């Protein structure tokens, strides 16, 4: 904890300098700022060589600013760590639910990662990206895993057409797929079976997905029946098992335990003459949102998981399966910041000072949904000491639309640029048009260049899907 004196005097600069000094030792998920963050000669925050104030002038406000170097570095750290620590084959797939768009998908694909998609929309985005990148249909098929607890018939048919691996979640889906598969004699549908392994982890209740009371996956007690059913259907090419135990996890033990449990189950499938060669351990590694957060590095996480899987395989004399991890947050979370422009101020004596920005719960619904905490700086006042405690309010007509409560800031003026860190994961992807706010633009920054990757919505975009029946016109 900072002392009161430290709180008064620390500036954006102090904490950025400290961050930058330590950055060399950190993996992107342990860094509060994107890896290229700097304070430039104008004392302004710069990311990817681009001045935040200039970016906002050019592209408008609010603005998502995505640092290519941080995203690429996280992708590489995952891939290289698996190569270093796992002695079998491995694949890292990006959980696109964290942020699915053409530019991110293409960066991730160019780093050699595959994709976890959970809807026809995410599948379509990924397909379009890979097609534009000139990937062959075989390459595309190998790169995509399709998840979801209630895939529609149309989604299943699209997945079969693409020939990607379908992560089967429940009986309804398994039987629907068998029906589709058995319509054609030679059909072979690649599948993984999703399990609810019953491993708890300490994270926010709403984002736990792996414990027994979960809407996802087959319960362990059903596994024998599932294996038996699959082994009797010639249309299935069952490749392995999948589980995901939760998100924003700092502990290493749950994933290591999961590795062990899963190997035992892979081995169990042998009695049904199923040769399962893939083990998908899910995602979930946390990122550092606040100074006191202390997630393990990507390297450390991969090392722990790899060791536990290899150890379990050795003890069962089971060949090392293809080990798949599907991180989302720890790939893209720390790579992005959101820049807002400060507007009104309301002071309630002896109670609170509110400073309002030009976005809020529509571009970042995480604080109101999960009480998530974020760090921020004022991009154009990086050298000024923090002298007041304020609460950052969004502009939506909702009292709970508070981005950050009781934070230390320098004295600000309307027009200043407030920057919230760590907004790459589950911000744009969960954004809405609440109060008919157009969704912000996103720019990709690298070596002083900024490219628009998502256009700002216009008012016309907001009414594009509206339809006014003729009879309402009079």
Q: Which of 366, 381, 395, 446 touches ligand LLP (CB under 6 A)?
A: 366
Measured CA to CA, the distance from residue 462 to residue 144 in angstroms comes to 32
Q: Which is nearer to ligand LLP, 48 or 283 (CB)?
A: 283
What the block records as the tokens of 291 is 């100074």
Q: Which is nearer to ligand LLP, 72 or 329 (CB)?
A: 329
* 75 flagged as catalytic: no
- Residue 146 within binding range of ligand LLP, rule CB under 6 A: no
By the 8 A CB rule, do 6 and 311 touch?
no
Q: Which of 51, 111, 116, 169 touches ligand LLP (CB under 6 A)?
A: 116
Measured CA to CA, the distance from residue 374 to residue 467 in angstroms comes to 39
Q: Which is nearer to ligand LLP, 115 or 272 (CB)?
A: 115
Q: Which long-range contacts (CB under 8 A, 24 or more apart) does 400-408 make?
A: 400/361, 400/368, 401/360, 401/361, 401/368, 402/367, 402/368, 403/357, 403/360, 403/364, 403/367, 403/374, 404/367, 404/373, 404/374, 404/376, 406/352, 407/376, 408/7, 408/10
Q: 318 burial class (0-12, 13-18, 19+ CB within 10 angstroms)? A: middle
- Residue 241 within binding range of ligand LLP, rule CB under 6 A: no
- Residue 296 within binding range of ligand LLP, rule CB under 6 A: no
- Residue 247 within binding range of ligand LLP, rule CB under 6 A: yes
Least separation in angstroms between CB 248 and ligand LLP: 6
User: Which string of x and - marks every residue 165-204 that binds ligand LLP (by CB under 6 A)?
Assistant: ----------------------------------------
Least separation in angstroms between CB 284 and ligand LLP: 4
Residue 313's H or E segment, with its range, is: helix 298-316
Say which residue the tokens 């681009």 belong to: 50
Least separation in angstroms between CB 32 and ligand LLP: 17
Q: Total number of residues binding ligand LLP (CB under 6 A)?
A: 23
Alpha helices in 111-206 (DSSP H): 120-132, 137-143, 153-162, 171-182
Least separation in angstroms between CB 265 and ligand LLP: 17
User: Which string of x and - marks every residue 306-345 that binds ligand LLP (by CB under 6 A)?
Assistant: --------------------xxxxx---------------
What SS3 string covers 390-424?
EEEECCCCCCCCEEEEEEEECCCCCCCEEEEECCC
Residue 305's H or E segment, with its range, is: helix 298-316
Least separation in angstroms between CB 338 and ligand LLP: 14
Tally: H helices and E strands in the chain: 15, 21
DSSP string, 322-354: EEEE--SHHHHGGGEEEEEEEEEEEEETTTEEE
User: Which string of x and - marks every residue 62-101 that binds ligand LLP (by CB under 6 A)?
Assistant: ---------------------------------x-xx---
What the block records as the tokens of 345 is 């101020």
Residue 292: partners with Cβ closer than 8 Å, 6 or more residues away: none
What the block records as the tokens of 59 is 């592209």
Q: Which is nearer to ligand LLP, 170 or 380 (CB)?
A: 170
Q: Which is nearer to ligand LLP, 282 or 410 (CB)?
A: 282
- Residue 244 within binding range of ligand LLP, rule CB under 6 A: yes
Least separation in angstroms between CB 208 and ligand LLP: 10
User: Which string of x and - marks every residue 410-439 that binds ligand LLP (by CB under 6 A)?
Assistant: ---------------xx-------------
50-51 sheet: strands from edge to edge: 38-39, 45-47, 50-51
- Residue 208 within binding range of ligand LLP, rule CB under 6 A: no
Residue 257's H or E segment, with its range, is: helix 253-268
- By CB under 6 A, the residues from 367 to 406 that bind ligand LLP are 370
- Binding region for ligand LLP (CB under 6 A): 95, 97-98, 116, 147, 207, 209, 244, 247-248, 282-285, 326-330, 366, 370, 425-426
**What is the set of active-site residues?**
397
């Amino acid at each position: 904890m900072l002392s009161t004196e430290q709180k008064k005097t620390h500036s954006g600069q102090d904490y950025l300098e400290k961050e930058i000094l330590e950055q060399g030792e950190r993996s992107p998920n342990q860094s509060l700022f994107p890896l290229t963050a700097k304070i430039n000669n104008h004392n302004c925050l710069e990311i990817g060589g681009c001045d935040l104030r200039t970016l906002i002038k050019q592209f408008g406000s609010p603005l998502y600013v995505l640092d290519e170097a941080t995203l690429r570095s996280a992708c590489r750290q995952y891939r290289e760590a698996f190569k270093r620590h796992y002695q079998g084959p491995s694949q890292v797939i990006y959980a696109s639910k964290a942020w699915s768009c053409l530019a991110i998908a293409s960066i991730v694909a160019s780093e050699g990662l595959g994709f976890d998609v959970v809807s026809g929309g995410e599948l379509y985005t990924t397909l379009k990206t890979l097609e534009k990148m000139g990937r062959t249909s075989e390459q595309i098929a190998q790169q995509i895993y399709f998840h979801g607890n209630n895939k529609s018939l149309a989604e299943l048919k699209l997945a079969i057409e693409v020939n990607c691996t379908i992560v089967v979640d429940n009986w309804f889906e398994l039987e629907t797929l068998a029906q589709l598969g058995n319509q054609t004699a030679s059909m072979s549908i690649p599948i993984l079976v999703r399990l609810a392994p019953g491993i708890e982890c300490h994270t926010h209740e709403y984002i736990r997905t792996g414990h027994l009371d979960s809407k996802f996956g087959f319960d362990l007690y059903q596994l024998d029946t599932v294996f038996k059913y699959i082994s009797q259907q010639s249309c299935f090419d069952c490749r392995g098992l999948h589980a995901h135990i939760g998100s924003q996890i700092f502990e290493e033990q749950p994933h290591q335990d999961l590795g062990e449990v899963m190997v035992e189950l892979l081995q169990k499938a042998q009695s049904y003459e199923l040769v399962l060669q893939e083990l998908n351990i899910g995602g979930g590694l946390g990122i550092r949102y606040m100074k006191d957060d202390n997630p393990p590095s990507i390297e450390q996480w991969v090392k722990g998981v790899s060791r536990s899987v290899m150890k379990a395989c050795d003890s069962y004399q089971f060949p090392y399966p293809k080990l798949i991890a599907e991180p989302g947050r720890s790939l893209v979370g720390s790579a992005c910041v959101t820049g807002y422009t400060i507007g009104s101020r309301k002071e309630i004596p002896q109670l609170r000072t509110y400073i309002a920005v030009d976005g809020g719960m529509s571009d970042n619904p995480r604080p109101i949904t999960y009480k998530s905490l974020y760090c921020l700086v004022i991009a154009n006042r990086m050298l000024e000491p923090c002298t007041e405690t304020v609460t950052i309010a969004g502009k939506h007509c909702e009292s709970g639309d508070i981005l950050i409560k009781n934070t230390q800031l320098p004295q600000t003026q309307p027009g200043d640029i407030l920057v919230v860190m760590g907004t790459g994961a589950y911000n744009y992807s969960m954004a809405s048009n609440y109060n008919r706010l157009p969704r912000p633009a996103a720019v990709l920054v690298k070596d002083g260049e900024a490219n628009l990757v998502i256009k700002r919505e216009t008012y016309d975009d907001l009414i594009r899907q509206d339809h006014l029946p003729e009879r309402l016109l009079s």
